[in-house]
Each structure stands twice: as structure tokens, then as C-alpha cells.
């Protein structure tokens, strides 16, 4: 069985993320969406449990997708899952340098795990969770970018945080 792990913070999960998950299912028998615990460099708006819930909600109709939280070294988690590859989305050239460095580091840590880069559909190539959070903070419409329930949760969370 070919298993791929798609890691990320998914804060929140966007249509761009979902597009990569669907594309991954063309290549893998099973895709594990690995929701990362907060790291010192990231301060997610939603806690880990909320992010896992939202990813499960968005992927509930995708039978070969499993959602799990993870913490620690990615290559160790991938190995623990019995997966062969890390799945990463590349939106633009600016993503490439960072993702390339991470792929090479992961290969150095465990050369049995491959990294597969997928491009999103053109309509999602500009989406980032950060941009969508900024639109929501400024009370702009986000329903074109997020599952309706995720959009509702995002808007509610930002309203609670506003002065």
C-alpha cells in the first residue's frame, strides 16, 4: 500500500489544501493529513484539537484520507505511519526554496522517505491561510476560500479577538 503524509498547520484548512489532498489521492492508496502541533516559530489561531476537527470535517467524504495530530520530527512520524512519502504543495517559486531545503534535510535524516511536490489548481495558487486570516480580520468575504463551517469558525474566532 502506498501511503503519503501531508503535513501542515492547517490554520485553517483552505480549498488549496483540500485540492492538494485530492490530487494526492491520485498517487497514493492512503493519505494521512498530519496536523502539526504548534512550534516555537508558529502561533496558530486555532488550537491543535480545533485544527484536527476542521480537517476531519473538510475531508469526511474522502474515504482514503486519515487525519491525525503529530508532534516532533516529521521523518520519524512518516516512518511510524508506514508511509513512503511526504506530500508538499508548491504555490509559487517563493515556496520552492524553503520546501527544497526541508526535502533535502528530511532525505539526510532518512533517505528511504521521498518528498512529492504537487502544484495546486491555478485557482488556488495564491491562497495561504495567512492571507485568508487577514481578509477575515478586515471583515472581507472568505467563503470562496474555505469550507462554510471553517469560514464560520474563523470569523467567530476573529470577532472574539477584536477589541
> Residues 147-161: pLDDT tens digits?
999 999 999 998 755
The DSSP secondary-structure symbol of 124 reads: G
So where are the chain's domains?
A: 3-125
Mean of the pLDDT values across residues 67-96? 93
H or E element, residue 79? helix 74-81
Determine the Cα–Cα distance for residues 100 and 146; give it in Å rounded to an integer: 27
* Active site (catalytic) residues: 17, 42, 91, 129
H or E element, residue 6? strand 3-8
- Whether the upstream peptide bond of residue 70 has omega within 30° of 0, thus cis, is no
Cα distances (Å, whole numbers) of residue 116 to 7, 23, 75, 153, 154: 12, 11, 14, 31, 30
What is the model's pLDDT at position 162?
42
pTM: 0.93
DSSP state string for 27-73 = T-SEEEEEEEPP-TT---SS-HHHHHHHHHHHHTT-TTEEEEEE-S-
Mean of the pLDDT values across residues 45-73? 97
The domain 3-125 is placed in CATH, from the list 3.30.70.100, 3.40.50.620, 3.40.50.1100, 3.20.20.100, at 3.40.50.620
What is the model's pLDDT at position 5?
98
**Residue 64 confidence (pLDDT) above 80:** yes
Mean of the pLDDT values across residues 111-123? 93
Mean of the pLDDT values across residues 30-56? 93
What is the model's pLDDT at position 122?
87
**Residue 38 confidence (pLDDT) above 90:** no
The answer to whether the CB of 52 falls within 8 A of the CB of 35 is: yes
Please provide the average confidence, as pLDDT, over all residues in the chain: 92
123 Cβ partners below 8 Å, 6+ apart? Answer: none
**Residue 108 confidence (pLDDT) above 60:** yes
What is the model's pLDDT at position 160?
55
Residue 85 banded pLDDT, cuts 50, 70, 90: very high
Cα dihedral 88→93→95→97 (10° resolution):
100
- Which has more confidence, 149 or 125? 149
**Residue 111 confidence (pLDDT) above 70:** yes
Residue 22 banded pLDDT, cuts 50, 70, 90: very high
Determine the Cα–Cα distance for residues 30 and 119; give it in Å rounded to an integer: 19
Amino acid at each position: 500500500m502506498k501511503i503519503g503524509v501531508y503535513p501542515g498547520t492547517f490554520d485553517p484548512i483552505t480549498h488549496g489544501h483540500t485540492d492538494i489532498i485530492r490530487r494526492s489521492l491520485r498517487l497514493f492508496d492512503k493519505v494521512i493529513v498530519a496536523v502539526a502541533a504548534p512550534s516555537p516559530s508558529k502561533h496558530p489561531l486555532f488550537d491543535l484539537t480545533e485544527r484536527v476537527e476542521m480537517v476531519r470535517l473538510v475531508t469526511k467524504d474522502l474515504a482514503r484520507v486519515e487525519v491525525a495530530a503529530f508532534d516532533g520530527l516529521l521523518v520519524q512520524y512518516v516512518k511510524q505511519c508506514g508511509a513512503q512519502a511526504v506530500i508538499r504543495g508548491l504555490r509559487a517559486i517563493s515556496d520552492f526554496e524553503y520546501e527544497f531545503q526541508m526535502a533535502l534535510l528530511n532525505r539526510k535524516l532518512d533517505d528511504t522517505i521521498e518528498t512529492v511536490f504537487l502544484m495546486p489548481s491555478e485557482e488556488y495558487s495564491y491562497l495561504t491561510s495567512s492571507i485568508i486570516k487577514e481578509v477575515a480580520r478586515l471583515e472581507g468575504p472568505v467563503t470562496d476560500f474555505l469550507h462554510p463551517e471553517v469560514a464560520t469558525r474563523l470569523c467567530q474566532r476573529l470577532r472574539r479577538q477584536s477589541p
